[in-house]
Structure 1
Amino acid sequence: MKLGDWQQINELIRRKVFPPGEQIMSMLVDFKKGGTGPEHSHPHEQLGFVASGKIKITIAGVEHVLVAGEQIHVPSDQPHFVVALEDSLVLETFTPLREDLLNS
């Protein structure tokens, strides 16, 4: 798998990790309704922009519902998870680089 190719995560989620800059990177996540990103945290600062659809993201126990055209900030080291309330396309941006995603 190379950067820029779609990766199927499971039957409800696929992602496309784009070639990075020096300290910033992005990926596109395509969720089918009901797709869930499990709770996790990482030292990277993150922005999530909903290009289409509707998601519920929980950050450090606080729920946020976002629709197309809205963006959220996920601070470093905060536990978070997402549930797609509709088929959704989300652009996620990280800094610094997430080597785990670049090497997957």
Structure 2
Amino acid sequence: MTDIKLFSTYGENPWTPTPDGNQRRVLLHTPELMLVEFGFEKGAIGALHSHPHVQASFIAEGRFEVTIDGVSQTLEKGGTFIVPSGLVHGVKALEKGRLVDSFTPARQDFLGD
């Protein structure tokens, strides 16, 4: 058996505030991979930033303006995007919404909040 948590039910993990005024909750993680849900109110900004992790994102709810490496596109529920390591990226919530992001490797800075 493994000590890694393999399953999670919706709403089981607590929301924590993000530095840019939004909220996130880590759903599951291993050292190699992490799944995180982010919540945004209409007009909220996910500030431009970069990190060494590869990120893949799914828009679970809402509509977002997504900017990656200076290129912007509007995506809505069901849309996806990927951010290669080191590229500057951010989002603006055009309506209330949620993103489900995966990171590889896991974002250690998101653990222990």
Q: Same fold (TM over 0.5)?
A: yes
Larger radius of gyration: 2
Provide the C-alpha distance between the structure 2 equivalents of 1:16 and 1:91, rounded to a whole number of angstroms: 10
Pair 1:11–1:78, CA change in 2 (3 A): closer
Provide the C-alpha distance between the structure 2 equivalents of 1:100 and 1:79, rounded to a whole number of angstroms: 18
How many equivalent pairs are there? 102
Counterparts of 1:1-104 in structure 2, within 5 Å, are 4-9=13-18, 13-104=22-113
TM-score, normalised via structure 1 length: 0.89
Q: Which residues of structure 2 form unaligned runs of 5+?
A: 1-11
Q: Which residues of structure 1 form unaligned runs of 5+?
A: none
Overall identity of the aligned pairs, in %: 36
Q: Which has the higher strand share?
A: 1
Q: CA RMSD in A?
A: 1.9
